[in-house]
């Protein structure tokens, strides 16, 4: 089923996700701070809009740095009935390199949900490098992508959007499972940053007979 998707942030993640969902037939718009900026020249101008306008979006994707995700969502105004896909990872440089800035007793997904009254927040699409999204169909076995969220009625919509990209979309349970999915992303990043390690990998769930 076609979804009206608003992607906040047309950086690496926003642009790749938007193009992939457009190719699947979804109605995608990009919310950006400067729609007329030449840096968005590769995107169709009619699909660019100010980042603070929800318009008729059914799904909003937060493809911005975690520290500004909450304010980007608040700027949309009334969030009633909205599906929010949080693909942020709360990262910062620490003494040993890139690190998670929170975890164990909360998660970026839960922090975002706490300020998103009326919306249903789902954590997903944070668990592999974005360069793998256009090639998700190429993984054998299928690359997994967990989806965590509390709204069981709307979760199938998000699972389908993730499956549309070519992933093995797996229900990880309630949003508090984002506490596990953000460190899983950190594991991917840690592996990807090993000298000489290729970036074209993702995790998979395999079953024995
Ligand atoms: N890169 C990956 O492989 C990957 C994978 C999974 C998840 N993630 C997560 O996805 C998020 C985005 O990552 P990215 O690599 O796409 O970063 P990025 O390339 O730096 O893009 C971030 C975007 O956020 C925009 N932005 C900043 N403030 C904004 C605001 N107030 N309103 C609207 N847009 C705003 C920026 O637009 P301006 O240029 O106009 O400031 C930029 O286009 C991060 O949370 C990251 O942790 C990244």
CATH number at residue 187: 3.40.50.720
Q: Answer yes or no: are the C-beta atoms of 9 and 125 closer than 8 Å.
A: no
Q: Answer yes or no: are the C-beta atoms of 75 and 51 closer than 8 Å.
A: yes
Sequence-separated (6 or more) residues with CB below 8 Å from residue 53: 31, 76
* CA 37 to ligand 1: nearest atom: 40
CA angle 122, 184, 28 (to 5 degrees): 40
pLDDT band, very low/low/confident/very high, at 124 (cuts 50, 70, 90): very high
The average pLDDT across 89-102 equals: 95
Q: How far apart are CA 123 and CA 107, in angstroms?
A: 10
Query: Is 24 part of a structural domain of the chain?
Result: yes
Instruction: Supply the pLDDT for residue 138.
Output: 96
Query: Is 204 part of a structural domain of the chain?
Result: no
pLDDT band, very low/low/confident/very high, at 152 (cuts 50, 70, 90): very high
Q: How far apart are CA 120 and CA 118, in angstroms?
A: 7
The average pLDDT across 22-38 equals: 97
- Residue with structure tokens 């299928």? 142
Instruction: Supply the pLDDT for residue 7.
Output: 98
* CA 90 to ligand 1: nearest atom: 47
Total domains, the chain: 1
Residues in the ligand 1 pocket, defined by CB under 6 Å: 8-14, 32-33, 51, 63-66, 68, 72, 87-89, 91, 126, 129-130
* CA 12 to ligand 1: nearest atom: 16
Q: Hey, whose CA ends up nearest to atom 43 of ligand 1?
A: 11
- Tally the C-alpha atoms within 13 A of residue 167's C-alpha that lie toward its C-beta: 30
Domain ranges, residue 13: 4-192
The average pLDDT across 75-96 equals: 97
pLDDT band, very low/low/confident/very high, at 45 (cuts 50, 70, 90): very high
Query: Is 203 part of a structural domain of the chain?
Result: no
Q: Answer yes or no: are the C-beta atoms of 22 and 28 closer than 8 Å.
A: yes
Query: Is 99 part of a structural domain of the chain?
Result: yes
Instruction: Supply the pLDDT for residue 172.
Output: 98
Longest dimension (CA), the chain: 55
The rounded Å distance from CA 207 to ligand 1 centre is 35
pLDDT in tens, 55-78: 999 999 999 999 999 999 999 999
Q: How far apart are CA 42 and CA 195, in angstroms?
A: 32
Query: Is 96 part of a structural domain of the chain?
Result: yes
pLDDT band, very low/low/confident/very high, at 20 (cuts 50, 70, 90): very high
pLDDT in tens, 153-177: 999 999 999 999 999 999 999 999 9
The rounded Å distance from CA 80 to ligand 1 centre is 24
Query: Is 60 part of a structural domain of the chain?
Result: yes
Q: Hey, whose CA ends up nearest to atom 34 of ligand 1?
A: 9
């Amino acid at each position: 089923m076609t979804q009206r998707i608003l992607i906040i942030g047309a950086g690496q993640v926003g642009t790749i996700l938007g193009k992939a969902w457009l190719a699947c037939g979804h109605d995608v718009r990009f919310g950006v701070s400067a729609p007329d900026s030449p840096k968005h020249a590769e995107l169709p101008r009619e699909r660019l809009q100010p980042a603070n306008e929800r318009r008729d979006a059914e799904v909003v994707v937060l493809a911005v740095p975690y520290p500004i995700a909450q304010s980007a969502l608040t700027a949309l105004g009334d969030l009633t009935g909205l599906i929010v896909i949080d693909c942020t990872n709360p990262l910062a440089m620490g003494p040993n390199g890139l690190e998670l800035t929170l975890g164990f007793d909360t998660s970026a997904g839960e922090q975002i949900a706490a300020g998103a009254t009326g919306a249903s927040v789902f954590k997903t699409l944070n668990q592999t490098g974005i360069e793998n999204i256009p090639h998700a169909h190429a993984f054998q076995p299928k690359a997994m992508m967990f989806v965590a969220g509390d709204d069981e009625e709307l979760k199938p919509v998000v699972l389908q959007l993730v499956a549309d990209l070519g992933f093995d979309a797996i229900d990880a349970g309630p949003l508090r499972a984002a506490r596990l999915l953000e460190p899983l992303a950190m594991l991917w990043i840690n592996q990807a940053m090993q000298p000489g390690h290729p970036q074209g990998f993702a995790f998979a769930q395999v079953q024995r007979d």
